[in-house]
Structure 1
């Protein structure tokens, strides 16, 4: 009897062991899948937050447009040109004037997603090939290029500088602040982001009246309207090249400035 009783006990032990093994493999598989899904969710959330920041820190476009219409007043001596940057007649502009300083804030395409559809007056995200096609070299024989860059486009920005005939000479860090002068931290994939970077390239000789060792490569300034860059950058440029010919590409009306030519479809 004892031997007969021991047999089913042995079989149950094997079955239990097999069941435990299957359960363990299933659990590990589910945990692995959970990690993969969480990484995908984190990546999507990061893109959403970056888009919200570009569109104005989670305010709706209607709210931004209404506020802009109520409060906006263009500087008296600015030269705004509302136009599609991709189809603008750059050749005609280049024949009329060569610029000492060019500033551009390209609407870099995030990750590997297709360009966003946007709205009537908002910039779409542009693939790198479209940004490359802007004839920057025709607009400047000698002078400086200031190009705003996002984290995953540093290498591309350096490549564009070289392709357009510029040598990297410096960079400027904008540390974003709140109205209480604290760092305005945003979300990032690994680290929280509280800054933007503007790369500086130079082509040919120094433009007339160019000064050296001016200003600072760090700007502490409050984060303001939709994609609005700090006024200190423009002041720095005007100190670097006094009485120069200044151009901003992909400009927005909240960055219009006296004695600057600003081209974009959000003016």
Structure 2
């Protein structure tokens, strides 16, 4: 009696691997469209080739395990798409040449989402951190002044670094002028709760600083005319992936500074 042939079990590539391929392909698309004429030392063709080779290798590994890549085309492109008129720069902020970037252009707004180093022995209580953390000194060494002569800085803070951030903002030449609270919502528009040290957290804070030409240290500069009566200090936005901030913060910036330029300094895993 012949044994019944067992069907070959196909191993599906993990969604993480598929998403990683999608991110790399999106990066390639934006690099092709970017204008890097100002950066003579950037080997754009080499960067694109390396990314394409990485994607090819990942596909081959999946197919060698009888993986099914049909789901690859169905991934949400919007999850990884870089905003319009934007160029992603994947780099280490500790070594990036901010001075070279500042020679090319200055920015009206700087948005910082630092990868804060959590001091607690159990900082996340089981929630894995998907990015490298930096100590305060590394964050303090980021020369944001090289890319902005005058304008606003927005910095997302955690409770334990609030006072430190205000002081560091002054050292960078900014005056603390306001803060924005992001109230986190679920897809059903209910309050989203996160782990906290004493209480559960349902919000995040973004502090706002301003630097004006000729501004005296510690002086509170008057807001630009375009800023007045346009912004609000509370955002009700849906909680998305780990470390992703609400789209509403960028809409707020665009409403108060139309046609302005924004430079985002963020951790790997955050939005573009």
Q: Give the TM bin, normalised by the shorter chain.
A: 0.5 to 0.7
Q: In 2, distance between residues paired with 1:136 and 1:173?
A: 23
- Residue in structure 2 matched with residue 223 of structure 1 by the alignment: 239
Matched, 1:242 2:250: no
Q: In 1, distance between residues paired with 2:83 and 2:247?
A: 13
Q: In 2, distance between residues paired with 1:185 and 1:111?
A: 21
Query: Which protein has the larger Cα radius of gyration, Structure 1 or Structure 2?
Result: 1
Q: In 1, distance between residues paired with 2:242 and 2:203?
A: 15
Give the Å deviation of 1:76: 4.6
The 1:77–1:166 alpha-carbon spacing in structure 2 relative to 1, beyond 3 Å, is same
Higher mean Cα deviation, 69-78 or 124-133? 69-78
- TM-score, scaled to structure 1: 0.65
Q: What secondary structure, in the 3-state scheme, does the structure 2 residue paired with 1:85 have? A: coil
Matched, 1:179 2:195: no
Matched, 1:140 2:171: no
- CA RMSD for the aligned pairs? 2.5
- Residue in structure 2 matched with residue 30 of structure 1 by the alignment: none
Higher mean Cα deviation, 66-75 or 162-171? 66-75
> Equivalences for 1:25-64 in 2 at 5 Å?
63-64=15-16
Higher mean Cα deviation, 69-78 or 168-177? 69-78
Give the Å deviation of 1:191: 1.1
Q: In 2, distance between residues paired with 1:233 and 1:86?
A: 25
Give the Å deviation of 1:112: 6.3
- Residue in structure 1 matched with residue 85 of structure 2 by the alignment: 77
Contact 1:172 1:219 in 2 (8 A): yes
The 1:208–1:253 alpha-carbon spacing in structure 2 relative to 1, beyond 3 Å, is farther
Give the Å deviation of 1:155: 1.1
Q: Which runs of 4+ in 1 moved over 2 A?
A: 62-77, 205-211, 251-256
Structure number with greater CO (CA < 8 Å, separation at least 6) is: 1
Matched, 1:198 2:214: no
Q: In 1, distance between residues paired with 2:143 and 2:266?
A: 13
- Residue in structure 1 matched with residue 160 of structure 2 by the alignment: 152
Give the Å deviation of 1:252: 5.1
Q: In 2, distance between residues paired with 1:88 and 1:197?
A: 27
Q: What secondary structure, in the 3-state scheme, does the structure 2 residue paired with 1:82 have? A: coil
Q: What secondary structure, in the 3-state scheme, does the structure 2 residue paired with 1:107 have? A: coil
Give the Å deviation of 1:75: 3.9
Contact 2:107 2:148 in 1 (8 A): yes
Q: Mind listing any 5+ residue stretches in structure 2 that lack a counterpart?
A: 1-13, 23-74, 122-129, 214-221
